[in-house]
Structure 1
Amino acid sequence: MPSLSPTMTEGKIVKWLKKQGDKVSSGDAVAEVETDKSNLEIEAYDNGTLAEIVVGENQMAKVGAPIAYLTVKGAKAAPAAPAAQPKAPAPAPEKPAAAKPAAAPAQAGGRRLRASPVAKRIAREKGLDLTQVSGSGPSGRVVKRDIEEALARGPAAVPAAKKAPAAQPAPGVRPEPTVLPLTSMRKVIAQRMTEVKPGVPHFYLTIEVDMEAASKVREEAKAMDLKVSVNDLIVKAVAMAVRRYPKINVSLQGDKVVQFHSVDVGIAVALEEGLITPILRDADQKGLQAIASGVRELAERARKRALKPEEYTGGSITVSNLGMYGIDQFVAVINPPQASILAVGAVSEKAVVRDGQLAVRKMMTATLSCDHRVIDGAIGAEFLRELRGLLEHPTRLLF
């Protein structure tokens, strides 16, 4: 079992793409693995025959533990048999099948399906079966234009499977609770939150931000057919505030303080099985439209569990926005190894005092959680003051 993410300690075999007795070449995708963050295919490093599968589908294996064995060239392969229960390691001349992340999925019949990431994404969004598309790229690779041509010809979309309605209990009968195993993602979330909350001394700073001007910028963008959300404005403002106050762009790692010189902003994305934080790299150097498209694209792939490990590790600070759920204010737990996280509530109309007069303004509450081991209250306060200034005068986000 290979390590497919920095936090991965074990993985679940979702599906074997090769059967026992199949010949395997270096680079062949052999299995799909569920990690704590995403589902990835793994491929063999060596040539040989898949002699024995020791970890069956929907079973777990620790990182580094054998999941299958390959025979060396010229050795007799074990007879094909379905994988069920883990077995003892096979004797020589078999060896563990070393594996690495695969780039392309396998088609039915053993032939690998080659497609660009953009082509895969469009096909998923449009419900198009990639196996029915002829590729015009190198080595028959399916590229964007192939998908567009197939859609123009009116291909049959793959219908989404409908969930069967839940069975209703008989009147007067109390239904029994359902026991579900923890997913890999939820296990890691539980472990890390248990370690972080008592282990990292948090402190919290809260401000109210007048979002009247920022809301107008969003409406102007909408009038120009530009998809820019309030969250995109917040991400941009956070990135610029971090750039101007680099003392908050730090991380405590062991007995050393790491000072980052790039601004990478994490965006908390809720999934059915947990939470993931994809990272928007160099967010301070991107314009609003680039941030908007980048955040949407990362969030879409996060929900499809298609992120690469480097797309959800590291980062300077995270933005967690629950405003769309009607939450006015909350505090968030820091996402290690980061030293801060910003919890953002809803933008709503409130009565406030302006120039001695009562006025109705669009207001938003933001709470900054900081790791007190490396960030002091004054540093957090200066950061929030700059953040508020940027959001209340959003033309500054353009310069």
Structure 2
Amino acid sequence: MPEVAANATDAVLAEWLVAESAEVTVGDALATVETDKALVDVEADADGVVLKVLVAAGTRVEVGSPIAVLGAAGEEYDPSLVEAPTTAPPATNGATRVFASPLARKLAKDGGLAIEDLVGTGPRGRILRRDVDKALASPVVEEGAGTPSPVVEEGAGTPPSVVEEGALAPVSKPPSAEGAVPHTRRRRAIASRLTESKQTAPHFYARATVRADALVALRAEINAGEVKVSLNDLVVKAVAAAHRAVPEMNVVWMPDAVRTFDTVDVAVAVATDRGLVTPVLRDVTALPVSTVAERVRDLAGRARDGRLRQDELEGGTISVTNLGMYGVEEFAAIINPPHAAILAVGAVRDEPVVEDGAVVPGRLMTVTLSVDHRPVDGVVAARWLAVLKDLLEHPVRILA
């Protein structure tokens, strides 16, 4: 089991892509492994034959433990030469293996359900996401009871216990109004990274208010045709252009040096049911805005389905996070390590503005830049933000 995510101690072997006795070559995908943020394919590092699969799909395995044995054609598997993998037992029901998709297993675990208790509606009874969703939405019925127990909404606490007629109710404190939602692996990972960021990266903040009239008009003009873009797509393009104009911002802090980059890779924050992820869009300055929009939609869709590759979550020097669609006018975000900065984008709002000495209606948007002060000085961030503001207020330059 490889360490597909930094500092990971274990991972779930989600699916085998080859069978025993199959011939493989270097680079062939052998299995899919589930990390906190993505599904990652494990590739063969040598030509050979799959002599033995040691771990069943759906099993959590410690990093470094063997998951399969590869050998030469004609070679036989010798169990005495292989250390037993360190695993949690695969989900089973008696002696029968339970077939379930990796996503269904994760959702069941996060929802506190035993996968072997679910009824699958997929091929060969395979448990799918819809089966988990149905189980989570169903009221809980105690074994042998004629009526269902009350359904407890998330955060509503635990219902009082059922007391048999004539029995004395135990003296106890009233049920708490607060519930407890167990941490998922992804939520723990997010918490760990953001805590690390605030503890190790000295944040400072710079804010600008942008006249967004031209930006909104440009988007409407583009969307009048076949190409559809969002305001955030245009912001991502502007961020990349600002990095090109102020290359001192296109850096990350390393233990022994400040690393610089020739291309501009921008991460885009995507909210999913299982937490926030930040897939990275590569070489944004070389892409037309239509391609940026298409790739952002693809990354966001696969992020919500849990199908991002690990390499799509790595790299970049800055993230863009946008809460404007929720009506949030202004906020400051925590830097996503090892990035040097993150740009928080607020909603476009109608406000009176002064123009040539007269008060006129205008459309304003607030952007807040959070910066790691280790690799980036305040004057560099100020120059960058001035360039970004100018690009957003003259957005035709973004398309150049």
TM-score relative to the length of structure 1: 0.71
Number of the residue aligned with 2:194: 193
Q: How far does residue 229 in structure 1 lie from its aligned partner after superposition?
A: 0.9
**Kept after mapping to 2: 8 A contact 1:7/1:188:** no
Cα distance change on mapping 1:58 and 1:379 into 2, 3 Å: same
Distance, in Å, in 2 between the alignment partners of 1:208 and 1:347 is 10
CA contact (8 A) 1:69 1:96 kept: no
Match of 1:161 among 130, 133, 149: 130
Any idea what SS the aligned residue of 1:215 has? helix
Alignment partners' CA distance in 2, 1:32 and 1:311: 15
Corresponding residue for residue 256 of structure 1: 257
> Residue 157 of structure 2 contacts residue 180 of structure 2 at CA under 8 Å; is this kept in 1?
no
> What is the identity, as a one-letter code, of the residue corresponding to 2:12?
K
Hey, what's the Cα distance between the residues in 2 that align with 1:2 and 1:15? 15
Q: Partners in 1 of 2:278 and 2:237 — Cα distance?
A: 16
Mapping for residues 58-73 of structure 1, pairs under 5 Å = 58-68=58-68
- SS of aligned partner of 1:47: strand
Aligned residues: 321
Q: CA deviation at 1:171?
A: 9.2
Q: Contact conserved, 1:69 with 1:95, CA < 8 A, in 2?
A: no
Query: Which amino acid in structure 2 is aligned with residue 218 of structure 1?
Result: R
Q: Does 1:91 align with 2:60?
A: no
Structure 1 residue aligned with 2:168 = none
Which position in structure 2 is the counterpart of 1:33?
A: 33
Structure 1 residue aligned with 2:297:
296
SS at match of 1:327: coil
The answer on whether the counterparts of 1:18 and 1:30 sit within 8 Å (CA) in structure 2 is yes
Alignment of 1:331-370 (within 5 A): 331-370=332-371
Conserved? CA contact 2:139–2:151, under 8 Å: no
Distance verdict in 2 for CA 1:361–1:75, change over 3 Å: same
Q: What does the per-residue CA deviation read over 1:63-117, in whole Å, with 9 as the maximum and x for residues that have no partner?
A: 222235568855467xxxxxxxxxxxx532x4689xxxxxxxxxxxxxxxxxxxx
Shift of 1:285: 2.1
Contact 1:7 1:36 in 2 (8 A): no
Letter in 2 for 1:182: T
1:264–1:281 Cα contact (<8 Å) kept: yes
Per-residue deviation, 1:42: 3.3
Code of the residue aligned with 1:175 in structure 2: it is: T
Give the root-mean-square deviation of aligned CA atoms.
Answer: 3.1
Question: Partners of 1:292 and 1:76 in 2: how far apart?
Answer: 50
TM-score (norm 2): 0.71
1:278 is matched with: 279
Are residues 281 and 175 of structure 1, via their aligned partners in 2, closer, same or farther at CA, if it must alter by over 3 Å?
A: same
Q: Aligned in 2, Cα 1:47/1:341: closer, same or farther, shift over 3 Å?
A: same
**Identical columns (%):** 40
CA deviation digits over 1:43-79, x for unaligned, max 9? 55542532643xx5544323222235568855467xx
Say if 2:40 and 2:310, in contact at 8 Å, map to a contact too: no
Map 1:111-122; keep pairs closer than 5 Å: none
SS of match in other structure, 2:24: coil
Q: Contact between 2:50 and 2:69, CA under 8 Å: does it hold in 1?
A: no
Q: What SS does the aligned partner of 2:80 have?
A: coil
Three-state SS of the structure 1 residue aligned to 2:130 is: coil
Quote the Cα distance in structure 2 between the aligned partners of 1:287 and 1:70: 45
Distance 1:49 1:211, change over 3 A: same
Structure 1 contact 38–306 (Cα < 8 Å) conserved: yes
Pair 68,323 (structure 1): closer, same or farther in 2 beyond 3 Å: same
Q: Secondary structure at the match of 2:299?
A: helix
- Determine helix, strand or coil for the equivalent of 1:193: helix
Deviations 1:239-268 (A, max 9, x none): 111100111111110121112221111111
Q: Distance in 2 between matches of 1:198 and 1:283?
A: 30
Q: Which amino acid aligns with 2:80?
A: P
Q: 1:50 aligns with which of 42, 49, 52?
A: 52
In 1, distance between residues paired with 2:281 and 2:399? 18
- Residues 267, 52 of structure 1: alpha-carbon distance in 2 compared, 3 angstrom cutoff: closer
Name stretches of at least 5 consecutive residues in structure 2 with no aligned partner.
86-122, 141-148, 160-178
Matches of 2:5 and 2:379 in 1, distance apart? 35
Counterpart of 2:108 in structure 1 is: none
Deviation at 1:10, TM superposition (A): 2.5
What amino acid sits opposite 1:26 in the alignment? V
Q: CA deviation at 1:315?
A: 0.8
Identify the residue that residue 311 of structure 1 maps to in structure 2: 312
Task: Tell whether the 8 Å contact from 1:70 to 1:96 is kept in structure 2 after alignment.
Answer: no
Matched residue of 1:315: which SS? coil
- Alignment deviations for residues 204-244 of structure 1 (CA, whole Å, 9 cap, x no partner): 01111111110000111111232011001111111111100
Describe the shift of the 1:51–1:286 C-alpha distance in structure 2 as closer, same or farther (beyond 3 A): closer
Match of 1:23 in 2: 21
Q: Which amino acid aligns with 1:203?
A: F
Output the amino acid matched with 1:161. Answer: R
The 5 A counterparts of 1:95-110 are none
Unaligned runs of 5+ in 1: 78-89, 98-130, 132-158
Report the CA distance shift for 1:166/1:252 in structure 2 as closer, same or farther (over 3 A).
same
